[in-house]
Structure 1
Amino acid sequence: MRSHARGHLVYAASGVLAVHTERGTSVVPANRVAWTPAGFTHYHRAHGDTDMRIVFLAPSLARLLSDHPAVFLASGLAREVLLALTGPRNYDDAAPGYSGSARSRLLRVLVDELREAHEQPLHLPEPRDDRLRAIARMLHATPADSTTLAELGKTIGASTRTLSRLFRDELGMTFYEWRTQLRIHHALVLLAEGHSTTRTAYACGWSNPSSFIAAFTNIIGTTPGRYRISRNSAE
């Protein structure tokens, strides 16, 4: 794991990226941008055939974005700027490079686009309490596990009321919201690896593909089938 002195943006031109920090994990499917502010220890993991692009921001631009890790939907303009800033002009001596002033203008356009974008609900916060960490380990290992919070509480020796309060106070969401988010993260990875919608639905704990499609669409903004088509076309 490493920590950069400058904040940076990570973009998956294809495939899916997972960005891990001490605050939690952001899963970054195609056409999303993960922002990690300076000072956050982190590491990246690629899933599927991934084309990862990284852009660093100077403090004067970084301060215009959020002070916490976040994921943004990339507009068409933001995508083209990201590709331009990380394309052949930046490492191929045969390609005419951007001047320093041109790069500065492109970076400012990129930041302006991201400031107008809404944060995506793709960041899964990391629990700090040992009891929540125990639950998180179990569900990361078996995302299809549909054990209730009460039953999980009996396993780790905590009441449903206590666990519900911890999820709300520490993570800002209910247990069921957090588990759905975790399952969507796993689903994005499986889809990136080429699994079908039906197989992904059952592997991640949905009782049928229809309920998975509804939950996926609510969080990602498109159906799993359309997402796979758009991801493949991007590649």
Structure 2
Amino acid sequence: MQKIRHTPVAPTRTQRLASGGEIDAHRHDDHQIAYASQGTIAVTTDAGSWVAPATRALWIPAGTVHRHQAHGELDLHLVGLPVTENPLGLDRPAVLAVGPLLRELIVAYTRTPADDSAPRHRLRAVMLDQLRVSPEQPLHLPTPTGPLLRELHDILRADPADNRSLDELGRQIGASARTLSRRLRAELGLSYPRWRTQIRLHHALILLAEDTPVTTVAHRCGWSSASTFIDVFRRTFGHTPGSRTADG
């Protein structure tokens, strides 16, 4: 059984992680914000995984067992908040939009010395105000609990470009497409096409963080063309795959 570290106080700091680097499973008694100003950060919990490029930040509620993984060279900015302070009103992990102002506030706050000075208090207050109005983003990939959906999940994560129909995949795992569709709706609240697209987008973000060309990403993730992939990416994230910075 994996040992889970308990670090009561969530740190506020900046640290670097090499591509593929990890912070193992742990939990805090505080809330935490994780933001990567460079690279893409993935956070995994029992409920699923969340991926955030430089235009997004992750909200991790107090008590959530989680682990971090870096995709691409990572500049990770961590902000700890006491459990009594929840600017988002969220009791579950979430991905938040990060605009240019919030980006600079998080970077400045995590790089300045922790003290009780008035300028730092003002910086923190503006950062929290910006967090309160940051819209939540659809970047959660829920982890199924039932054995059939877990098997289907493993197949699609292993090869996001697998274009077989749900009928064909169902025959492989011994279930009808109707049964799988019903369980997806009941357990994850998603249709099969939407779930498969979420899996593909998560994989695409990781490949992009590793500087994989957009055309190659589209092919590896199952889109018929780069233009189709770019269109889906833009509709989901509000920018093209080549624009991955908070000000871009």
TM value normalised by structure 2:
0.84
- 2:89 counterpart residue number: 65
Residues 52-131 of structure 1 aligned to structure 2 (within 5 Å)? 52-62=76-86, 64-87=88-111, 89-90=112-113, 98-99=115-116, 102-131=119-148
- 1:7 counterpart residue number: 31
AA aligned opposite 2:231: A
Q: Distance in 1 between matches of 2:43 and 2:218?
A: 23
Alpha-carbon displacement from aligned partner over 1:112-165 (angstroms, at most 9, x marks no partner): 222212111111111111111111111111111111111111111222122112
SS of the equivalent of 1:59 reads: coil
- 2:210 counterpart residue number: 193
- State how many pairs are aligned: 224
Q: Distance in 1 between matches of 2:92 and 2:119?
A: 28
Kept after mapping to 1: 8 A contact 2:162/2:222: yes
1:151 aligned onto 2:175: no
Q: Distance in 1 between matches of 2:61 and 2:123?
A: 19
Q: Distance in 2 between matches of 1:76 and 1:196?
A: 25
SS of the equivalent of 1:224 reads: coil
Q: Distance in 2 between matches of 1:28 and 1:133?
A: 23
Q: Distance in 2 between matches of 1:158 and 1:13?
A: 43
1:20 aligned onto 2:44: yes
AA aligned opposite 2:219: Y
Kept after mapping to 2: 8 A contact 1:65/1:111: no
Alpha-carbon displacement from aligned partner over 1:183-206 (angstroms, at most 9, x marks no partner): 111111111111111011001111
Q: Distance in 2 between matches of 1:11 and 1:61?
A: 18
Give me the identity figure in percent.
Answer: 45
Q: Distance in 1 between matches of 2:166 and 2:38?
A: 36
Kept after mapping to 2: 8 A contact 1:22/1:40: no
Kindly state the Cα deviation for residue 2 of structure 1 after the two structures are TM-superposed. Answer: 1.1
Kindly state the Cα deviation for residue 221 of structure 1 after the two structures are TM-superposed. Answer: 1.0
Kindly state the Cα deviation for residue 225 of structure 1 after the two structures are TM-superposed. Answer: 2.3
Residues 126-141 of structure 1 aligned to structure 2 (within 5 Å)? 126-141=143-158
Unaligned stretches of 5+ residues in structure 2: 1-24
Kept after mapping to 1: 8 A contact 2:87/2:131: no
Q: Distance in 1 between matches of 2:184 and 2:59?
A: 24
Q: Distance in 1 between matches of 2:142 and 2:84?
A: 27
Unaligned stretches of 5+ residues in structure 1: 91-96
Q: Residues 149 and 11 (structure 1 numbering): CA distance in 2 closer, same or farther, change over 3 Å?
A: same
Q: Distance in 1 between matches of 2:117 and 2:144?
A: 42
